């Protein structure tokens, strides 16, 4: 069998151990490597000519991407998972105990178990390659660093920094890693190996201690101080996770126990907590998201049809969405974008949108001012159709007005090339209706972004019946270059995400009209696992936007989408939400915490205070979303449950620890969900009528995923 580890000896006495998992694009750690690694370490220990060891990756732009997540998926019991962690401890402890200096030369992704491997080396040097990132993202998989990271990291960079890394899963750039002492040097890739060898030849000198402030010395250097850190971290984690994610608290416990009872105890606790987490439902759901998104990275959205190159983009509309779209085009895809708006104000908005984001990067030392300015130069503006003849795609982000969009289709066909794609960012208008104005309908497609564009990872790519496969493939490729996760959905009012969101929001509105308070509603759904509650979301999206979409959905999809008429009173009272400082909450107030605008109740003629059980409130809203998601699958709006899960999680923050609507339905059981829906149907009416597929699944006892 081809080896993963290859040991080569240099004349200067330094041995180079290259890790290169055969047939894989990334190095990942697997238990099957254990015997091979032990054999290599024994060979090194037995060879007195070896004065030092440098560990490198044989992969281009990638060091080690962590433990093989599919290996974790294969664990059938907690004992299986605990053994994996313990095996890692044995190997890493043996590496760390070598009498010769061991230096990790890191180039590319060094994540999870990969960083834990590097931490077991005596020194670390990384390249300045933009692809070099270091971190322990296990928490994003519902796990914790199970290869000794909860013990070595705090001892290297300090408890506070280590907890921040482990609880957020953040990935550090080379200079960030150097500043915090995670690596001993960061050098150009061309001299990475040479620097590592020199480091090894210099011997096992202790790392330079980072300078610490007095307060930090007291906090980190005393058990009382560390307990303050742990207690604070515990409170922050409890608030952030609402108790829905077990991993963060276990991470804190591993560090606390290790720092108070010693590394051996810490490793023992780490292996035990790691095992529990691998077997947890939450981690299983989060790992399924990783596998789904990794699989989606390879999909073109149109089979084996090749996408056309996108070398120039035009964005119509310099507002909030247009500015965001132009910004991710230039800063992420690094493709020139020309923004057209009817007013200079719109154009300056687009430019300042991009500049603010880039300047934040400069302030955080992620980029230099020169890089910022070069990226800004990719964005140009115009109030006329000039300089766009060679645009490969035009993204329209103007008002939800069909006649206006028809005019733009005609303008683009007149002013641009025959191959130019017209992509509409419409959030509700059927693409087929927009394409009616086109003489080349095969070039018309929907490309629906979510706000804020630079943060929300999802885009919906909406093909109408005449959209060509090449247009789909090109648009999907373009979205991926912008750093987006695209799902291809079929044409229909509200497409997928806004359609399932609409019924969820309508149910929240019904609950409000029944006397639930705004804050109770929001707290209930945040407790369930959403990032924000429905009333906060309505304020953020815009009450007026919701009011505009609802009638379109009702006319196209039926009565169940009818929004409560009482909400018209909000618009009559000029309540649009955050955008005009008047909504369900008070804006611009002096208080730091958000306050409900109590006058909203009088506008709606309500007396709040019913505030029933939060779980019941959340369930009524969530089952509406689940039921409509199933209908979207039935109608082939979404191609598969996987896309439905990713769309809901990445588009509206459906709780990731539940895996998405379809994974959650499997967890609940279709029969149980049908019973809940039917009980609500009896109490609140036909809008809770279970989807046919659900009824059938409850009879057949089937699931969406095996």
Ligand X SMILES: C[C@@H](O)CC(=O)SCCNC(=O)CCNC(=O)[C@H](O)C(C)(C)COP(=O)(O)OP(=O)(O)OC[C@H]1O[C@@H](n2cnc3c(N)ncnc32)[C@H](O)[C@@H]1OP(=O)(O)O
330-343 per-residue burial string, b: 16 or more CB within 10 A, e: under 16: bbebebbbbbbbee
Q: Which helix (H) or strand (E) holds 629?
A: helix 614-634
Helix, strand or coil for residue 185?
A: strand
Cα–Cα distance measured from residue 704 to residue 550, given in angstroms and rounded to the nearest whole number: 29
Catalytic residue among 460, 507, 519, 628: 460
Closest CA to 382 of 338, 322, 331: 338
Residue with tokens 């080896």: 3
Residues 511-550 within binding reach of ligand X (CB under 6 A): none
Helix, strand or coil for residue 645?
A: helix
Residues 600-639 within binding reach of ligand X (CB under 6 A): none
Which stretch in 48-56, 63-71, 353-361, 503-511 sits in contact with ligand X by CB under 6 A? Answer: 63-71
Helix, strand or coil for residue 343?
A: coil
Residue 503 sits at the vertex; the CA angle it makes with 597 and 499, to the nearest 5 degrees, is 115
Pairing of strands 123-127, 109-111: unpaired
Q: Which is nearer to ligand X, 26 or 134 (CB)?
A: 26
**From the CB of 143, what's the least distance to ligand X, in Å?**
6
Q: What is the chain's alpha carbon radius of gyration, rounded to the nearest angstrom?
A: 28
Strand locations in 3-127 (E): 5-9, 14-19, 52-57, 62-64, 102-106, 109-111, 123-127
Q: Which is nearer to ligand X, 142 or 546 (CB)?
A: 142
Q: Which of 33, 37, 104, 113 binds ligand X (CB under 6 A)?
A: 113
Q: Which of 40, 107, 129, 138 binds ligand X (CB under 6 A)?
A: 138
**From the CB of 283, what's the least distance to ligand X, in Å?**
10
| Residues 341 and 511: beta-carbon distance below 8 Å | no
Q: Which is nearer to ligand X, 70 or 345 (CB)?
A: 70
Query: CB neighbours (10 Å) of residue 440?
Result: 18
**From the CB of 681, what's the least distance to ligand X, in Å?**
42
Beta bridge partners of 6: 18
Q: Which of 52, 101, 137, 446 binds ligand X (CB under 6 A)?
A: 137
**From the CB of 477, what's the least distance to ligand X, in Å?**
15
**From the CB of 161, what's the least distance to ligand X, in Å?**
18
Q: Which is nearer to ligand X, 127 or 498 (CB)?
A: 127
Site string for ligand X, 139-168 (x = CB under 6 A): --x-x-xxx-x-------------------
Cα–Cα distance measured from residue 130 to residue 174, given in angstroms and rounded to the nearest whole number: 8
Site string for ligand X, 23-62 (x = CB under 6 A): --xx-x----------------------------------
Site string for ligand X, 372-401 (x = CB under 6 A): ------------------------------
Closest CA to 559 of 689, 703, 419: 689
**From the CB of 327, what's the least distance to ligand X, in Å?**
22
Q: Which is nearer to ligand X, 294 or 311 (CB)?
A: 294
Beta bridge partners of 462: 446, 489
**From the CB of 223, what's the least distance to ligand X, in Å?**
27
CB neighbours of 141 closer than 8 A, spacing ≥ 6? 69, 283, 286, 287, 290
Provide DSSP, 561-622. Answer: GPPPGGGHHHHHTT--BGGGTBSSBB-S-S-SS--B-THHHHHHT--------HHHHHHHHH
| Residues 490 and 614: beta-carbon distance below 8 Å | no
Q: Which is nearer to ligand X, 65 or 648 (CB)?
A: 65
Which stretch in 7-15, 108-116, 454-462, 693-701 sits in contact with ligand X by CB under 6 A? Answer: 108-116
Q: Which is nearer to ligand X, 93 or 681 (CB)?
A: 93
Q: Which of 52, 66, 533, 651 binds ligand X (CB under 6 A)?
A: 66
260 near ligand X (CB under 6 A) = no
Which stretch in 21-29, 51-59, 362-370, 474-482 sits in contact with ligand X by CB under 6 A? Answer: 21-29
Which stretch in 133-141, 457-465, 520-528, 578-586 sits in contact with ligand X by CB under 6 A? Answer: 133-141
Tokens of 649: 């999680």
Number of residues that bind ligand X (CB under 6 A): 25
Q: Which of 70, 352, 368, 598 binds ligand X (CB under 6 A)?
A: 70
Q: Which is nearer to ligand X, 78 or 191 (CB)?
A: 78
Residues 226-245 within binding reach of ligand X (CB under 6 A): none
Query: CB neighbours (10 Å) of residue 181?
Result: 16
**From the CB of 445, what's the least distance to ligand X, in Å?**
25
Site string for ligand X, 287-306 (x = CB under 6 A): -------x--x---------
Active site residue 460: yes
- Applying CB under 6 A, the residues found at the interface with ligand X are 25-26, 28, 65-70, 88, 109, 111-113, 116, 137-138, 141, 143, 145-147, 149, 294, 297
Catalytic residues: 460
């Amino acid at each position: 069998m081809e080896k993963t580890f290859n040991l080569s000896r240099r004349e200067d006495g330094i041995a180079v151990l290259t890790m290169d998992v055969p047939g894989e694009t990334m190095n990942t750690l697997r238990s099957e490597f254990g015997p091979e690694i032990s054999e290599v370490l024994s060979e090194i220990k037995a060879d007195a000519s070896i004065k030092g060891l440098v560990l490198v990756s044989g992969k281009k732009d990638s060091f080690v991407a962590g433990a093989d997540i599919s290996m974790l998926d294969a664990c059938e019991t907690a004992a299986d998972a605990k053994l994996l962690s313990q095996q890692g401890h044995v190997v890493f402890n043996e590496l760390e105990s070598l009498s010769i200096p061991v230096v990790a030369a890191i180039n590319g992704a060094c994540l999870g178990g990969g960083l834990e491997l590097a931490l077991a080396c005596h020194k670390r040097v990384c390249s300045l390659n933009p692809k070099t990132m270091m971190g322990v993202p296990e928490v994003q998989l519902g796990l914790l660093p199970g290869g000794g990271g909860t013990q070595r990291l705090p001892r290297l960079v300090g408890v506070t920094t280590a907890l921040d890394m482990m609880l957020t899963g953040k990935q550090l750039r080379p200079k960030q890693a150097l500043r915090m002492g995670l690596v001993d040097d960061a050098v150009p890739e061309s001299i990475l190996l040479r620097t590592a060898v020199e480091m090894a030849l210099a011997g096992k000198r202790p790392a330079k201690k980072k300078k610490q402030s007095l307060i930090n010395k007291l906090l980190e250097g005393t058990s009382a101080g560390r307990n303050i850190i742990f207690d604070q971290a515990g409170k922050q984690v409890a608030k952030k996770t609402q108790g829905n994610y077990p991993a963060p608290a276990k991470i804190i416990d591993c560090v606390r126990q290790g720092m108070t009872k010693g590394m051996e105890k810490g490793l023992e606790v780490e292996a035990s907590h790691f095992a529990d987490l691998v077997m947890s439902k939450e981690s299983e759901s989060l790992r399924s998201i990783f596998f789904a998104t990794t699989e989606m990275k390879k999909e073109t959205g149109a089979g084996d049809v090749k996408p056309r190159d996108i070398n120039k983009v035009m964005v119509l509309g310099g507002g909030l969405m247009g500015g965001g779209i132009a910004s991710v085009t230039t800063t992420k895809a690094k493709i020139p974008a020309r923004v057209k708006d009817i007013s200079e104000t719109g154009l300056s908005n687009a430019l300042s949108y991009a500049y603010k984001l880039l300047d934040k990067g400069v302030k955080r030392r992620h980029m230099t001012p020169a890089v910022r300015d070069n990226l800004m130069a990719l964005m140009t503006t115009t109030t006329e159709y000039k300089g766009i003849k060679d645009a490969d795609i035009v993204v329209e982000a103007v008002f939800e007005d069909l006649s206006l969009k028809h005019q733009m289709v005609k303008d683009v066909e007149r002013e641009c090339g025959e191959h130019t794609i017209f992509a509409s960012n419409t959030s509700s208008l059927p693409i087929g209706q927009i394409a009616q104005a086109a003489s080349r309908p095969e070039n018309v497609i929907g490309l629906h972004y979510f706000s804020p564009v630079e943060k929300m990872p999802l885009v919906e790519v909406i093909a109408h019946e005449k959209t060509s496969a090449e247009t789909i493939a090109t648009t999907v490729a373009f979205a991926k270059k912008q750093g987006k996760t695209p799902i291809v959905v079929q044409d229909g009012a509200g497409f997928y995400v806004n359609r399932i969101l609409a019924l969820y929001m309508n149910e929240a509105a019904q609950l409000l009209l029944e006397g639930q308070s705004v804050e109770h509603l929001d707290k209930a759904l945040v407790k369930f696992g959403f990032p924000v509650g429905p009333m906060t979301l309505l304020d953020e999206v815009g009450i007026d936007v919701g009011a505009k979409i609802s009638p379109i959905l009702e006319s196209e999809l039926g009565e169940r989408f009818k929004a409560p008429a009482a909400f018209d009173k909000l618009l009559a009272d000029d309540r649009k939400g955050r955008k005009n400082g008047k909504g369900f909450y008070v804006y611009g107030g002096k208080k730091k915490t958000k306050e409900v605008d109590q006058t909203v109740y009088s506008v709606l003629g309500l007396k709040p205070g019913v505030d029933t059980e939060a779980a019941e409130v959340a369930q009524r809203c969530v089952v509406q979303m689940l039921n409509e998601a199933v209908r979207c699958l039935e109608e082939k709006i979404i191609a598969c449950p996987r896309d439905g899960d990713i769309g809901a999680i990445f588009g509206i923050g459906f709780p990731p620890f539940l895996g998405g609507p379809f994974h959650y339905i499997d967890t609940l059981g279709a029969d149980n969900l049908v019973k809940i829906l039917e009980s609500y149907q009896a109490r609140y009416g036909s809008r809770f009528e279970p989807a046919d597929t659900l009824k059938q699944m409850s009879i057949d006892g089937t699931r969406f995923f095996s």
